[in-house]
Structure 1
């Protein structure tokens, strides 16, 4: 196969990114190995209220080419799900995430996806249509938004990862495995109760 060095380098980098992404997807049920927060049950990590740090400035175009930013949801609890259409674990959790979104959207909770490693947004849009996802997702094929999460924080290390930002814009929870509607209940109910404390 012929091509310029630049084209060959781009192909090599794309292949390497795909290998890393697939490894993340396949190891999503593994351990977390991060420090600086309290590891919870079943791979869900929780930051105590007094130790939470601000979430990074996530923003970009969604799959409908509309600008969206985490800052659009100030004062709300935000569930951020990092996913790819190629990830079987992402498919297994999608219906539960949509159910949780429908259950909590009138209680001050919003959902925001970050679609990564999909080189064609058509694949991501087809995934959302097939899975019935109605909340927006930022299209982030090269992982730029994911890299904004500082290392040593509740940064994502596998796909799928679900993170929750509290009403004050701080990282509060992280699950580095597929989550169910029951997981989301266990994560969101205490955060919803915080607004009254």
Structure 2
């Protein structure tokens, strides 16, 4: 089960400003207009992701709740100066009664327990992540990291996997070797993989094309990398979380959507299904 810090992609010692910035960035990926019209299973996943974000932010944005969360989950926090508890105790003596203090502490603990239960019930690993659909793929045209232009319609007649990713995205980092392995194995059988980097988000986070290139070099990625400089492809495909992979059949229709990290085996299974279907229709 991921911690709230892992959900936001931040360190346990992150400032409150960093917590808010991470929350706002992730929340933007689940905007209603991005998921409207998608398969109901995918929309349900998105709603559950939003619930996770809200739960995590409610705790991390409140100093007392965050301190209790850190304590119960083993995240070290700097010790409070010795004088602080005394001052706090003095304040309580003139404010809340012992019973009121007990209720207050008990309420925080109960809230954290309830949040933990909800999190367990909505664990990412237990959510349906592959959705079926049948809608026309947007005909995007984007510059590539190699310096040329990529037009999706040029791959008509082949099975295409369009993978949206970012260098800061931990699941993207984990899945990239699997994508490259699948591409190496299946490209001669007709699989096309296009990696679409959310370059506009990269720039907002202070990253550059050199950082994107370094990522590609690190994992020896050989499939084309398109650069979504203005977010147009992200909007056209209605991408919400990262990574998200779209499987497009030879006729140019999106048939499967894989939300979150994908494996080489999943790529193989979905590719072979679409390839076999296309062969049977000839």
TM-score range (shorter-chain normalised) is 0.7 to 0.9
SS at match of 1:196: helix
After the TM superposition, which residues 47-126 of structure 1 pair with which residues of structure 2 at under 5 Å, given as runs?
47=133, 52-116=134-198, 117-119=201-203, 120-126=208-214
**C-alpha distance in structure 1 between counterparts of 2:190 and 2:276, whole Å:** 12
Taking a change above 3 Å as real, the CA distance of residues 58 and 91 of structure 1, as seen in their structure-2 partners, is same
Give the whole-Å Cα distance in 1 for the aligned partners of 2:222 and 2:273.
25
Whether the aligned pair in 2 keeps the contact of 1:58 and 1:145 (CA below 8 Å) is yes
* Matching residue of 1:8: none
Matches within 5 A, 1:146-157: 146-149=234-237, 155-157=238-240
TM normalised by structure 2 equals 0.54
- TM-score normalised by length of structure 1: 0.76
Relative distance call for 1:17 and 1:156 in structure 2 (3 A) is farther
Matches within 5 A, 1:6-25: 20-22=24-26
Report the alpha carbon displacement of residue 62 of structure 1 after superposing the two structures with TM.
0.4
Q: Does 1:136 pair with 2:229?
A: no
Cross-structure match for 2:261: 178
Shift of 1:18: 6.8
| Of 34-43 and 122-131, the range deviating more from structure 2 | 34-43
Q: In the alignment, is the contact (CA less than 8 A) between 1:156 and 1:176 conserved in 2?
A: no
* Farther-moved stretch of structure 1 (81-90 vs 183-192): 183-192
Q: Would the aligned equivalents of 1:113 and 1:138 in 2 still touch at CA under 8 Å?
A: yes
CA contact (8 A) 2:160 2:248 kept: yes
Q: Which has the higher helix share?
A: 2
Residue 192 (1) aligns with residue 275 (2): yes
Q: Which runs of 5+ in 2 are unaligned?
A: 1-19, 43-126
Write the distance in 2 (CA, Å) between the matches of 1:37 and 1:157.
13
Larger relative strand fraction: 1
Post-superposition shift, 1:195? 1.7
Change (3 A) 1:166 1:90: same
Match of 2:131 among 31, 40, 45: 45
Query: Relative to 1, partners in 2 of residues 1:166 and 1:45: Cα closer, same or farther, differing over 3 Å?
Result: same
Aligned pairs, number: 167
RMSD: 2.6
Q: What 5-or-longer segments of structure 1 have no aligned partner?
A: 1-15, 28-32, 150-154
* 1:162 corresponds to: 245
